[in-house]
Structure 1
């Protein structure tokens, strides 16, 4: 990224429990915009998805990308890791992948007569779990603990993976033969689900004009140390969310559970994820409180993988998107003044 490095909020200021000030919100917005601009140098024409991915990271969550091959999923993960000077790893999920290939393994050292732990690729800041649904359920389950608690347990001993930590998992929606669909419990651990999609005409032309630069993500320079992510996350946690907005989220979740076409609605974990993301999204816009518009903007990436329609509805052609549109039409929007 060219130009001066964006200002970063003072970690001492957001360490307390005071509400976010307007000055802090503006500084957060400037930092957020600078990070997005840096990533956009590698991912052309996908600013909204980049903002969602960065919101996911700052909300201490994980991202599921369901996309066709060649849309830039790996480039997004690498560009994000390079931007924050974080470590990165790619795990190619295959049917023969073992849980120890992800988490690590204890190896006996004959010289010392002790077992030494060899950490797996999960011990990185940004972990790309490529085609996660091609691995067996046993291997998929190796991610459950680390995605929820930020640690893995090997031979009864828990080991922290550190912060920041984010799993970006990918799925190919076209080739489903020989895959193992992610169980609902694991889907719920992903903070967001979205897709990059193909670039638009202008972005495609720009990519072809710059075809000589084959590794765009590799040219992305760091604009922030990884250690600064945690203070930013704590600052977003102190955003104001009025009771009316919290009630709106609760009513939306209840509506998903009571809808006649839904057999699995939004869980309590999903509601917490919704509010956490809304806080980060709102402060990234330079505001000091969450509005209903933030809730509506984030509805699809946060709710689409947490709502499961029943078999009869699937047979009738009912989609999750249609159910969510109906719910958001029926649930009244609270009147909350923006801040």
Structure 2
């Protein structure tokens, strides 16, 4: 058997395991998470695509529990950072301390919480830009630099950063150029009443069974490689590029509502994110190729943080969600 045949066989085995494991993942997460199925799917797709997520939602909507549960299902090392105005870059990346060694006193690098597989950056907009950029550098380069030495982060590395949509005073909102580093911006909303009743019932009773792992970190890395092998036709790629390009008011062929309400549209990275995420979604849904349906399904989480509306849109209560829906139409 040659190398190509072995690769095809290993991909087939991994694809089969992913399809059988998908139901188990959903069952394990349902032990502690009620509802939020779309949010959960988007986070899993981002993990498979090897991207990072920004998640926006009010406090108390189980964001931390959801991320921690995903880390348990995939056997990933989980860390959480609560961002505050006095947080320093070294509090994230780590720092050098003086220790007594065999050769006398020496500087030893102590790793910070960023050295994890799954990192929850809670309320990232509560810390100054210098500290935000320390995390964003780690996200982009998958490494940190301390005292001139580079330290590689362990793979897979996935960051979920939250922003609180209320109490915006005293915050440091991420600029659009930094937001563009996130694959998705996921919105998490309040649960329907029947789901909220179930949450209260569960959390005020004896704790249920623990989450059982389904995949390993090594398998996640293999799945991320498999995602890039999912075929996508030129027509679908051109459709994704057109969808993104039409969000730019200065672009040729931009619709009138884009010129009217949008100040800045999505860039090329958005088209890349759209196609890559669509590949991951197709794989998760047991599809053998990417269709326009996957592109449309992920247009909102990919584009909502990459389109900047103008004052006219704000004055007329036009939202990014409405703009994206019109673009798809």
Q: TM-score, normalised by structure 1?
A: 0.87
For 1:308-319, what aligned pairs fall within 5 Å after superposition? 308-319=308-319
Q: 1:213 deviation in Å?
A: 4.9
Matched, 1:237 2:247: no
1:284 and 1:242 map into 2 onto residues whose CA distance is 18
2:194 is equivalent to residue 225 of structure 1: no
Superposed CA RMSD in Å reads 2.3
Establish whether residue 124 from structure 1 lines up as the match of residue 119 from structure 2.
no
Q: CA deviation at 1:314?
A: 2.2
* 1:193 maps onto 2:171 in alignment: no
Secondary structure at the aligned position of 1:41 is classed as coil
The equivalent of 1:34 in structure 2 is 24
In the alignment, what sits opposite 1:85?
A: 75
Residue 55 of structure 1, aligned match among 39, 45, 48:
45
Query: Relative to 1, partners in 2 of residues 1:155 and 1:241: Cα closer, same or farther, differing over 3 Å?
Result: same
Deviation at 1:101, TM superposition (A): 0.3
* Greater RCO, CA 8 A, separation 6+: 1
- SS of match in other structure, 2:80: strand
Write the distance in 1 (CA, Å) between the matches of 2:232 and 2:5: 17
What is the CA distance between 1:308 and its match in structure 2? 0.8
1:173-205 deviation line (CA, Å, top 9, x unaligned): 011111111111221111111123222223222
Matched, 1:69 2:62: no
CA contact (8 A) 2:14 2:223 kept: no
Partner of 1:333: none
| TM-superposed deviation, 1:30 | 2.5
Within 5 Å, give how 1:74-153 maps onto structure 2: 74-111=64-101, 112-153=104-145
What's 1:332 paired with?
none
SS in 1 for 2:248: helix
1:75 Cα offset (Å):
0.3
CA 228–129 in structure 1, closer or farther in 2 if over 3 Å, else same:
same
Assess if the C-alpha contact under 8 Å between 2:245 and 2:267 holds in 1: no
Call closer, same or farther: CA 1:135–1:238 in 2, change over 3 Å: same
Structure 2 unaligned runs (5+)? 250-257
Task: Give 1:244 deviation, angstroms.
Answer: 0.2
Q: Distance in 2 between matches of 1:182 and 1:270?
A: 17
Counterpart secondary structure, 2:215: coil
In the alignment of these two chains, the number of paired residues is 316
1:113 deviates by 2.9
- 1:199-218 matches, cutoff 5 A: 199-213=191-205
Question: SS at the partner of 1:317?
Answer: coil
1:91 alignment partner, SS class: strand
4+ long deviations beyond 6 Å: 12-15
